Structure 1
Amino acid sequence: MFRVFLRTSRRLARWQSAITPSICRSWDIKLKSYQIHSVTNRMYSAQNIQPDLDPVVFEKVCNETLESLYEYFEELIDQSSNLKGADVTFSDGVLTVALGPNYGTYVINRQTPNKQIWLSSPTSGPKRYDLILDNGGYWIYKHDGVTLHKLLQQEISKISSNADFKTCTHALV
């Protein structure tokens, strides 16, 4: 009988965690209370922002962006005294910026099937950027509305005070 009770409890727990809004129990010392938590709506849609984007335009803007970032990171490393052991490589649509053991490695790469640029940051983690063709074209993370260059500006300026990604191609900082 106890096994049946446990199985039923597990099924109810699984079912309860699957519904939205979910009800979470919080126990006080003398008082039992219930709180309702609802899922918040994101500010930006999870759907592709520009599904009809021409693949040729995407490739052109993507290559210009990655090449511009490659050149800028090379200049930045040459100018920064605390980045002497850093290295930048760009090959087959993958930009790797190894800033050393103290700062980690950034990987920025083209994702042609999704029409996105993916960023792997040692500070903020993985992000997927979509191309917006307004204002000459820029890359935006749909979940928080922050552009690729703005995030790089925020993170790299903590490492090198002379970081300025406004000069890069397709930058919206």
Structure 2
Amino acid sequence: MQPIEFSNIAEQVLLFIADTIESLDHDGSIDIDFNNDMINISTNKGIFVINKHSASMQIWLASPISGPYHFSYTNGKWRSHTGSELFEILTNELQIQFKK
């Protein structure tokens, strides 16, 4: 993958993540700050940080629940070296925020 292609795909994913969380957070319990290719998601469980790491062509996630992950774009999905998928991890770890 060329750097410009990585940059475009990663930016689209970060924007999708921020927009999706904002649209699902009906009670305003999550604070999202999206700036300079980095998302900070402040929840009652801590702060999640998701950023584009251009040098390695990865998206990095720091989770207050499960720790750090590095995701590479493979076959249309963002996966860690262990096979974990970015959206699956985020969904599982943030779903508690949307439960009443």
TM-score by length of structure 1 reads 0.54
Q: Larger % of strand: which? A: 2
**Deviation string for 1:74-130 (max 9, x for gaps)?**
1122x2x4xx3431011110011111xx31111000100010000010100111111
Aligned partner of residue 146 in structure 1, secondary structure? coil
CA distance in 1, matches of 2:29, 2:99: 17
Of 80, 85, 90, the residue aligned with 1:147 is 85
**Contact 1:86 1:97 (8 Å CA) reproduced:** yes
Counterpart of 1:126? 68
The answer to whether structure 1 residue 73 and structure 2 residue 21 are counterparts is yes
**Contact 1:117 1:129 (8 Å CA) reproduced:** yes
CA distance in 1, matches of 2:54, 2:21: 23
Aligned partner of residue 49 in structure 2, secondary structure? strand
**Deviation string for 1:3-27 (max 9, x for gaps)?**
xxxxxxxxxxxxxxxxxxxxxxxxx
**Contact 2:39 2:49 (8 Å CA) reproduced:** yes
**Contact 1:58 1:115 (8 Å CA) reproduced:** yes
The answer to whether structure 1 residue 97 and structure 2 residue 35 are counterparts is no
Of 43, 53, 60, the residue aligned with 1:111 is 53
Aligned partner of residue 158 in structure 1, secondary structure? helix
* Letter of the 1:74 counterpart: E
TM-score by length of structure 2 reads 0.91
CA distance in 1, matches of 2:22, 2:4: 27
Q: 4+ residue runs of structure 1 moved beyond 4 angstroms? A: none
Aligned partner of residue 98 in structure 2, secondary structure? coil
CA distance in 2, matches of 1:85, 1:103: 11
CA RMSD of aligned residues (A): 1.6
Aligned partner of residue 120 in structure 1, secondary structure? strand
Counterpart of 1:157? 95
CA distance in 1, matches of 2:29, 2:84: 29
CA distance in 1, matches of 2:94, 2:6: 26
